[in-house]
């Protein structure tokens, strides 16, 4: 089965149509089994709409659905993108590189050793690959506004307490409010004096070709598995094979980056 751009909305809409047909049948032929199936289709539609990025690869794999866009198509497992040029097939796979430590947390000697081993490991790979870094500055304005709001409320409350006759709990409450104000001040000072935070996504891609589609897919999966081992072992980081919407997102980034305001498309 071949489908042009299988989206969560399309899948959910198809299930809803099936549900409506079942409800129509239920009107003319009352049956508890049909009612149960209708309820299940509603749950499935809601799940696909919300968690389609997880369910879609499994559904397309078991139903052998080939999703396509332009000259490209996805395998049923949605972990490889394929393109045919002439009599050859080109297959591409993507990997997500998740760094858990910053270089700033390592010593100069550790950084040097890591760079040397990383370069030696990558030079041993005998195929085409690309490692990309996509960077997005993080806007801290909403976070700063919340801290200032907390500080303002604490200051207002402390002014109210000071203006009224003291009670047995006044001293303790004032002490808590002072700590709250000091905590907010420290957070604001840290944000304003520190470096601008950045959200970084590191992903890798590799491509293999063959006269046979299955052979090209097999080759690129082997290459991706080797890259995963090399990068994770030399950089001491987690590397994940991408599939479904996450893989398509990396493919789209080859042509157009997401807008800064739409970080939901940027972040994983």
Integer Cα distance of 264 and 268 in angstroms: 8
Smallest CA-to-CA distance from 215 within 43, 48, 67, 90 is with 90
Does residue 253 contact residue 81 with C-beta atoms inside 8 Å? no
Tokens 């149509």 locate to 17
- Which of 69, 96, 128 terminates a domain? The answer is 69
Instruction: Note the pLDDT of residue 211.
Output: 92
Co-location of 130 and 200 in the same domain: yes
Count of domains for the chain = 3
H-state helical runs in the chain: 8-28, 32-63, 108-123, 141-163, 170-193, 213-235, 244-253, 263-266
In a domain, 218, yes or no: yes
Name, in order, each residue with C-beta under 8 angstroms of 199's C-beta and a sequence gap of 6 or more: 135, 136, 137, 138, 263, 266, 267
User: What range does the domain containing 159 cover?
Assistant: 143-193
pTM of the model: 0.59
Does residue 78 contact residue 244 with C-beta atoms inside 8 Å? yes
- Which of 19, 43, 69 terminates a domain? The answer is 69
Co-location of 178 and 158 in the same domain: yes
Co-location of 210 and 257 in the same domain: yes
Across the 268 residues of the chain, what is the mean pLDDT of every consecutive 10-residue run?
A: 45 61 64 66 61 54 58 83 90 87 72 80 85 82 88 88 76 85 87 76 90 92 91 83 83 73 47
- Which of 175, 193, 211 terminates a domain? The answer is 193
Co-location of 241 and 110 in the same domain: yes
In a domain, 149, yes or no: yes
């Amino acid at each position: 089965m071949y489908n042009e751009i299988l989206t969560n909305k399309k899948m959910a809409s198809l299930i809803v149509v099936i549900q409506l047909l079942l409800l129509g049948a239920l009107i003319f032929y009352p049956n508890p089994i049909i009612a149960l199936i209708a309820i299940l289709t509603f749950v499935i539609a809601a799940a696909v709409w919300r968690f389609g990025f997880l369910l879609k690869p499994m559904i397309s794999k078991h139903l052998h659905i080939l999703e396509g866009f332009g000259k490209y198509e996805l395998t049923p497992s949605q972990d490889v993108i394929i393109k045919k040029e002439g009599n050859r097939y080109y297959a591409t796979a993507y990997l997500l590189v998740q760094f858990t430590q910053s270089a700033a947390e390592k010593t100069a000697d550790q950084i040097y050793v890591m760079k040397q081993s990383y370069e030696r490991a990558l030079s041993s790979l005998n195929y085409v690959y690309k490692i990309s870094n996509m960077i997005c500055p993080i806007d801290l304005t909403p976070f700063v506004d919340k801290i200032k709001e907390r500080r303002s409320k604490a200051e207002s409350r402390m002014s109210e307490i000071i203006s009224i006759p003291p009670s047995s709990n006044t001293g303790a409450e004032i002490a808590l409010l002072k700590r709250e104000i000091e905590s907010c001040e420290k957070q604001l000072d840290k944000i304003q004096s520190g470096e601008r935070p950045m959200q970084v996504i590191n992903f890798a891609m590799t491509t293999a070709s063959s006269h046979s589609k299955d052979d090209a897919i097999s080759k690129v999966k082997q290459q991706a598995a080797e890259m995963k081992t090399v990068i994770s072992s030399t950089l001491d980081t987690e590397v994940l094979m991408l599939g479904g919407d996450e893989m398509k997102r990396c493919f789209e980034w080859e042509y157009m980056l997401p807008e800064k305001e739409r970080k939901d498309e940027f972040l994983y």
